[in-house]
Chains A and B, each alone.
Chain A
């Protein structure tokens, strides 16, 4: 039997394949970018995405963000507050409460700015796979600002995930996430002490981060694992090990006995048979096929991914490289089949059509209504994805967001806002003018449909679109906007 991830023959890597690669391992690109990628050939194209350090890039400027908005009270202030509490001095306590509320207001404002900062990063980064994986890990190690209430910690976590997005799953990601202040706060490990163990982090570490629900651990392993994780907390912006809260007694985890701490617990988890399976399966759903059911073919592929994952000692890149070079990845059953996430929808539209990003705050709001607000996953389970993104209202909003990007019509305002238009779609089709013997209307429709939908529909729509092009003139910007609005409101546009 052939290898489940045998590579695509090099000669089969053309424009379509490069487009597919850039959509799935990134957020798509302009035809010129796709041509450049396909010219590299399969191996170098994949390498240019996976080994992103070779691409020069700078993070968008984040120097204006403040680290001190939510910093803990100075010792003196804390004493003053404690005294006021003991005396029941409401006036002083009121002052502290007001101060805290003002800081929370400022911090929520900063969180919104950081959301826009990341969205801009997603739109502009020349290392699309790094950003896409950062988004993957954000959903995997889901942490929500609502409970963390510290925008700086959310940003530190985002940096950490970005820097380690292609690193070693065990040593770069899992071992860091259990030391991450935002995660520790989110899953209450700062309250996990030998006297009052809190199982939250221990449970999710196995259920959601590494092994998968019910996959190779028991409730007792959670209890004992929680004891191992005692003392893992943070002070200000850094991880801290609090020896006083650490439970030094022996624990029994997965049938092994020892004086385990948090790192030992991680070691033990990575010795479980089931460890190799969960993350590859999630990555496959993220990059190849978003359906929940596992088909026979998928099982073979995920098993192969697991083997590579284990063999490389939990490196992310070798597994991804093998997947992105495989014939399976480019197989027709896996093209234009995944439902775009809200972030994918917006970022891909802007990157592919070279649209103006307009108002990032508005785009973030739109994203949130479509079900994916950055830094605020709905629960510790992250985003389920796939069809869960779609219902009638999110679908209409998706279509309206494209109208907004193209025309400036605010998807949340009742009336058209004037003077917000001004996107010129004509450069998209300018090169078609130089072709000989052409039916311009036909060409414009075919080209735009190919650009937005991956293929020209074989039904009555295409005829209708050509009629519209003839009626209003294919050289008019207004015509192009009409056509693109209709195309992006086609069901196929939700797929990538």
Chain B
């Protein structure tokens, strides 16, 4: 067997870049020596179709995105009756009419959602219509918790947390999930795992290093080897400190490389750009989580919503182009959701209030492109709101079973028919 050259990067990948793995792996050093005997190719494989390589990126649109003005039912008279001010005209009728989706009649896209339209055209974007759950909750907090836990009482650990708990034996590798932002989303909190979270790579580091070079070198030179008992909290903390030092360098190095595609500005684009950079650097991360807020459009919705959808569409499109240029698009599935849609009828302030079912969006060459599912019937409302036609847990089940290759029944704690959102 040929001896593979030793590099720090391989060391990181084998050794568990992120912390709590250290809780169960034997000493970091042993792990490293094991890594040395494994051929380089298997360390950082990027073969499409190898489940270990598959990545899920979750995009959360916080505040409740107005589904009806995103995926526009221009074929429905009721839509125009209920929204005299806010309704979007049918394609072609108006300079600012809805965007036509090829092969689909009566349903179009918001005119600013051109990015999504391009993704659909390219065969890598899909829209799942009318996604929700029974007895919808119209509180932001509660409904968000329901989506995060996949449990309608909303009081549980996160569904992705359960995925980490279930698929990793021993303590899950904490870096298996990375959330961008200053809070760890409930969705990623398991009973044994908590996601690594940071707002930006610049903050995923020890700020004390800025106090002086001697401080920085003293921190980096801290002796952290520990050969004592695994059960000892101090030994655990030493290993985690070492992991933090190494992974913080790794993440920042990854994020500092210039992107390959052109990116728009904006919060969501910046987050997805970071995610793309980390995917490119082949961090061992299975799930990334990003969030964009501001969708709670109770008043003067038109301009705000337009800007938001422009941002979402353009950022997703840039993300796709970046991944494609990296040749990583085949191993990354992106899923977009919001905690609820908005009411069918507009309110008196040029806005819309909290509603129920709304579309979800998926992106990647593995998705079944186009418009999936059934649009909720605007003539058959429930308490003035749309009735969902697909349960969000069916979409989760589809993603878990067909993409993450995990058992949806166990993770979702119930039997949901996996939605056929991926190409077979």
Q: Which residues of A contact B (CB under 8 A)?
A: 88, 90-91, 93-94, 97-98, 101, 104, 144, 146-147, 149, 188, 200, 290-291, 293, 337-339, 365, 368-369, 371, 378-380, 384, 386-388, 390-396, 399-400, 403-404, 407, 409, 411-412, 414, 416, 459-461, 464-465, 467-468, 471, 481-482, 485-486, 489-492, 494-495
Tell me whether B207 and A93 are in contact (CB under 8 A). no
Tell me whether A146 and B145 are in contact (CB under 8 A). yes
29 contacts between A and B (CB under 8 A): A97-B353, A97-B354, A146-B145, A147-B142, A339-B233, A369-B197, A390-B19, A392-B240, A392-B243, A393-B196, A393-B204, A395-B19, A395-B240, A395-B241, A396-B204, A400-B207, A403-B208, A407-B211, A411-B203, A414-B200, A414-B202, A459-B223, A461-B223, A468-B214, A471-B214, A485-B215, A489-B206, A490-B222, A495-B237
Q: Which partner residue on chain B sits nearest A492 by CB separation?
A: B234
Q: How far is the CB of A191 from chain B (nearest CB, A)?
A: 11
Tell me whether B353 and A98 are in contact (CB under 8 A). yes
B43 within 8 A of A: no
Residues from chain B with a CB closer than 8 A to the CB of A471 are 214
Residues from chain A with a CB closer than 8 A to the CB of B175 are 392
Q: Which partner residue on chain A sits nearest B156 by CB separation?
A: A379
**CA gap between A284 and B247 in the complex, in Å:** 35
Candidates A97, A369, A395, A486; contact of B215 at CB < 8 Å? A486
**CA gap between A400 and B142 in the complex, in Å:** 32
Candidates A144, A339, A384, A481; contact of B211 at CB < 8 Å? A481
Residues from chain B with a CB closer than 8 A to the CB of A384 are 191
**CA gap between A371 and B20 in the complex, in Å:** 15
**CA gap between A407 and B212 in the complex, in Å:** 13
Q: Which partner residue on chain A sits nearest B344 by CB separation?
A: A90
Q: How far is the CB of B278 from chain A (nearest CB, A)?
A: 13
List B173-228 residues whose CB lies under 8 Å from chain A.
174-175, 182-184, 186, 189, 191-192, 194, 196-200, 202-208, 210-212, 214-215, 218-219, 221-224
Interface centre among B18, B153, B194, B349 (most CB of A within 10 A): B194
4 extra interface residue pairs, beta carbon distance < 8 Å, beyond A146-B141, A147-B141: A101-B353, A400-B207, A409-B210, A412-B199
Query: Interface size for chain B: under 10, 10 to 19, 20 to 34, or 35 or more residues?
Result: 35 or more
Residues from chain A with a CB closer than 8 A to the CB of B174 are 391-392
Q: Which residues of B contact A (CB under 8 A)?
A: 18-20, 23, 139, 141-142, 145, 153-157, 174-175, 182-184, 186, 189, 191-192, 194, 196-200, 202-208, 210-212, 214-215, 218-219, 221-224, 231, 233-234, 236-238, 240-241, 243-244, 247-248, 298, 345, 347-349, 353-354, 384
Residues from chain B with a CB closer than 8 A to the CB of A492 are 234, 237
* Interface SS, A side: helix
Tell me whether A391 and B298 are in contact (CB under 8 A). no
Tell me whether A98 and B347 are in contact (CB under 8 A). yes
Residues from chain A with a CB closer than 8 A to the CB of B211 are 403, 407, 481-482, 485
Tell me whether B19 and A392 are in contact (CB under 8 A). yes
**CA gap between A368 and B221 in the complex, in Å:** 30
Supposing A97-B354, A464-B221 touch, asked if A491 and B241 sit within 8 A by C-beta, the answer is yes
Supposing A94-B353, A395-B241, A485-B211 touch, asked if A337 and B233 sit within 8 A by C-beta, the answer is yes
Tell me whether B221 and A460 are in contact (CB under 8 A). yes
Tell me whether A146 and B142 are in contact (CB under 8 A). yes
Tell me whether B298 and A98 are in contact (CB under 8 A). yes
Q: How far is the CB of B286 from chain A (nearest CB, A)?
A: 15
Residues from chain B with a CB closer than 8 A to the CB of A104 are 139
